[in-house]
Amino acid sequence: MNGLSTCERPALAVSLGPVRLKNPVAVASGCYGYGGNYREFYDPSRLGGIFLKCVTPAERPGNAPQRLVETPSGLLNAIGLQNVGIERFLREIVPAIEGIDTAFFANIGADDLDGYAMLARRLSDVPKIAAIELNISCPNVKKGCLAFGADPESARQATQAAVQSSRLPVFVKLSPNVANIGEMAQAVAEGGAAGITAINTLLGMAIDVETRRPKLANVTGGLSGPAIRPVAVRMVWEIRKAVPDLPLIGMGGILTWRDAIEFLLAGANAIAIGTGNFVNPMAPMDVLQGIEDYMAQHGFASVAELSGAMEG
Amino acid sequence: MKQCLAPLVESRPLGPGLLLHTYHDSDIAAHAKPGQFINVRVSGATAPLLRRPFSLCDADPAAGRFSVLFRVVGEGTEALARAGAGDRIDLMGPLGTAFQWEGVERALLVAGGVGVAPLHFLASQIWRAKQAERPAPRVVFAYGARDSGGLALADDIEKRVDLLAITTEDGSRGQRGLVTAALDPHLAPDTAVFCCGPTPMMAAVLRRMRERGLKRGWFSLENQMGCGVGVCLGCVVPTRDGYRRVCCDGPVLPAAILDFTALCS
């Protein structure tokens, strides 16, 4: 605790190594498009950061529908990394984010190490991109991605491939579908990661008992939403213990400011909202206000003080 | 498009399991177009988690009111059905694309079951244009349901269109059979078709249109949605032009690109 005087407002800016966020509230990849869709609700420049929808070397049509199923307090999805590919990304998406003043993280996915290296290299020259988010944890594509996130050595190699090819800091998005998340965190740290984002979705499945068919065309999908939050908070806590000094952005089922505070207390330096945007388009702004009020009320002068401040 | 807490003005039962909700919000009422939808947070809890999309059934800019028609079929609609007059409901709208009827001289509106909602709005809008002596098409409205209890708003529609053709599967009102059987007399080549209903019905209507060489048509599609604003790519449907998002490329899509084969399988 500290001596924040009653009339002072807490400092919201966060430093994640070389990346500075104006506040600790970001929006998660795949849940915010390329930054423009929520403009009618609030100015996206008020966000601490935007994790862009995943880009892959070539255009991908994505999985066949049905792509979504709602589950108790959760959402099961198998979108399959539908995106326009790196060439159109650079030509069409990058100019469109120019007017938004926030830290952009370009989420990249590939089938092999060369693909990761190529994407990391191409994005190095884009001034608007603050960092790369390495997607080694998408559970919904047949090749690559999750395969790299499933064991420490592959994760280290993918991280290294991106780090060596790019001038940008590389954050690695970890999959929860592993036995030991701390080991994964250490592996990507060894690979040169500038930070970690966690968690991606939990692998899940739902069956229609009348038709006896899987509800998703892809059979399995990634579970998000409040249903996974306790798992995510536990994993953020374990990652923090495994890599005490590595910048860490926590996510997984955050809907309200209370949820966000849990992640910060568990050791996250900042948080991201994913599925919560769909439930409440104002969630990022509501959460930001709630964090600020909480900090003022509890005497935290900065987000850094709050990060990892869980007692016991 | 906006998000608001809109007061529920009235929750009116219109048949077994059918409810008409009328809300008040001047902006949404002023901007809503037939075919567009609102995305409703049906409870403050985390289950059901996602918002539920409902096609607008009508909008009255002067009164600042708009309505949706829904059948109580699951957790989400059950939760919404518990709301009463005066409750403030968290909703977003108007969202999505609208039916295009400008320049149309002959319109055939084809509705199946609760899919009547956006076509009721369309018929109302065309009728209001006629009242205001603006150019508007002649409207034939083909409306099919399982039984007479499923024919919500039929009497209201009858007052606003040139011809209402009703079919019920059990013959309890109108012609017995499927709505597609009632279309043939109204498929002149210059007719524009506007359609909403169960997917097999829409597939049959599209097939008939193409057999008769009709080019202009607009279909309102339905799918499970994640975000409702185009970011999650969860609600896509296959079309002749690749995947299209129901929430923002639709829900109203032009007949020319539709391909129901994949959707019906």
Contacts of A74 in chain B (CB under 8 A): 49
Residue of B nearest to A282 (CA): B3
Contacts of B262 in chain A (CB under 8 A): 64
Q: Does A30 touch chain B (CB under 8 A)?
A: yes
Nearest 5°: CA angle at B41, between B36 and B42? 110
CB contact under 8 A, B230 and A77: no
Phi, psi of B65 (to 5 degrees): -120, 155
Six-digit token string for A129: 């991109």
Give me the pLDDT at residue A312, please.
Answer: 81
Give me the pLDDT at residue B179, please.
Answer: 94
Nearest 5°: CA angle at A112, between A107 and A116? 35
CB contact under 8 A, B231 and A275: no
Mutate to test the interface with A, among B229, B235, B240, B241 (most CBs of A within 10 A): B229
Residue of A nearest to B41 (CA): A279
Is the pLDDT reported for residue A275 higher than 60? yes
Selection from B70, B56, B92 nearest residue B19 by Cα: B70
The distance of B155 to chain A (nearest Cα, Å) reads 36
Name, of A6-20, A142-156, B96-110, the range with top average pLDDT.
Answer: B96-110
**pLDDT tens for residues A199-242?**
999 999 999 999 999 999 999 999 999 999 999 999 999 999 99
**CA-based max dimension of chain B:** 51
CB contact under 8 A, A62 and B233: yes
Is the pLDDT reported for residue A91 higher than 70? yes
Residues 6+ apart with CB under 8 A from A43: none
Of A65, A75, A281, Cβ closest to residue B226: A75
Of B46, B47, B230, Cβ closest to residue A33: B230
| Residue of A7, A31, A54, A138 marked catalytic | A138
Residues B259, B240: contact at Cβ < 8 Å? yes
Percentage of chain B lying above the pLDDT 70 cut = 99
**pLDDT tens for residues A158-200?**
999 999 999 999 999 999 999 999 999 999 999 999 999 999 9
> How do beta strands B37-41 and B52-60 pair?
antiparallel
Contacts of A280 in chain B (CB under 8 A): 41, 90
Residues 6+ apart with CB under 8 A from A208: A214, A215
Distance CA A288, CA A294 (A): 10
Distance CA A205, CA A210 (A): 16
Q: Does A82 touch chain B (CB under 8 A)?
A: yes
CB contact under 8 A, B228 and A277: no
Determine which helix (DSSP H) or strand (DSSP E) holds A264, and give its type and residue range. helix A257-266
Neighbours of B245 (CB within 10 A): 22
Of B225, B233, B237, Cβ closest to residue A79: B233
Give me the pLDDT at residue B112, please.
Answer: 97
Of B50, B237, B238, Cβ closest to residue A278: B50
Average pLDDT, integer, range A68-75:
97
Selection from A185, A168, A167 nearest residue A176 by Cα: A185
Give me the pLDDT at residue A192, please.
Answer: 98
Cα A160 → chain centroid: 19
Residues 6+ apart with CB under 8 A from B50: A70, A75, A278, A279, B76, B225, B226
* A138 belongs to the catalytic site: yes
CB contact under 8 A, A74 and B41: no
What does A158-213 look like in DSSP terms, one character per residue?
HHHHHHHH-SS-EEEEPPS-SS-HHHHHHHHHHTT-SEEEE--PEEEE-EETTTTE
The distance of A4 to chain B (nearest Cα, Å) reads 34
For chain B, the average pLDDT equals 96
Complete edge-to-edge strand list for the sheet that includes strand A202-205: A68-71, A74-77, A220-224, A202-205
In B, what residues contact A, Cβ < 8 A?
1-3, 41, 46-51, 90, 92, 223-238, 242-243, 262
Percentage of chain B lying above the pLDDT 90 cut = 95
Contacts of B228 in chain A (CB under 8 A): 278
Q: Does A281 touch chain B (CB under 8 A)?
A: yes
Residues B10, B21: contact at Cβ < 8 Å? yes
Q: Does A75 touch chain B (CB under 8 A)?
A: yes
Cα B127 → chain centroid: 17
Is the pLDDT reported for residue B264 higher than 80? no
Give me the pLDDT at residue A1, please.
Answer: 47
A147 or A3: whose pLDDT is higher? A147
Give me the pLDDT at residue A150, please.
Answer: 87
Give me the pLDDT at residue B42, please.
Answer: 96
What is the interface pTM, i.e. ipTM, of the complex?
0.95
pTM over 0.80: yes
Distance CA B45, CA A117 (A): 43
Q: Does A218 touch chain B (CB under 8 A)?
A: no
Of A68, A255, A279, Cβ closest to residue B234: A68
Selection from A90, A137, A91, A129 nearest residue A110 by Cα: A137
Domains defined for chain A, CATH in brackets = 14-62+81-201+225-306 (3.20.20.70)
What does B55-95 look like in DSSP terms, one character per residue?
EEEEEETTTTEEEEEEE--SHHHHHHHT--TT-EEEEEEEE
The distance of A69 to chain B (nearest Cα, Å) reads 8
Give me the pLDDT at residue A148, please.
Answer: 84
**pLDDT tens for residues B72-121?**
999 999 999 999 999 999 999 999 999 999 999 999 999 999 999 999 99
CB contact under 8 A, A73 and B223: no
Neighbours of B165 (CB within 10 A): 20
Is the pLDDT reported for residue A301 higher than 60? yes
Weakest mean pLDDT among A132-141, A284-293, B178-187:
A132-141
Phi-psi group of A35: left, alpha or beta (phi > 0 → left; psi -120 to 50 → alpha; rest → beta) = left
Residues B233, A62: contact at Cβ < 8 Å? yes
Distance CA B32, CA B51 (A): 19
Give me the pLDDT at residue A126, please.
Answer: 97
- Beta bridge partners, B106, equal B138
CB contact under 8 A, A61 and B243: yes
Q: Does A164 touch chain B (CB under 8 A)?
A: no
Residue of B nearest to A27 (CA): B231
Contacts of B224 in chain A (CB under 8 A): 66, 68-70
Q: Does A147 touch chain B (CB under 8 A)?
A: no
Contacts of A61 in chain B (CB under 8 A): 242-243
Distance CA B197, CA B144 (A): 9
Give me the pLDDT at residue B261, please.
Answer: 84
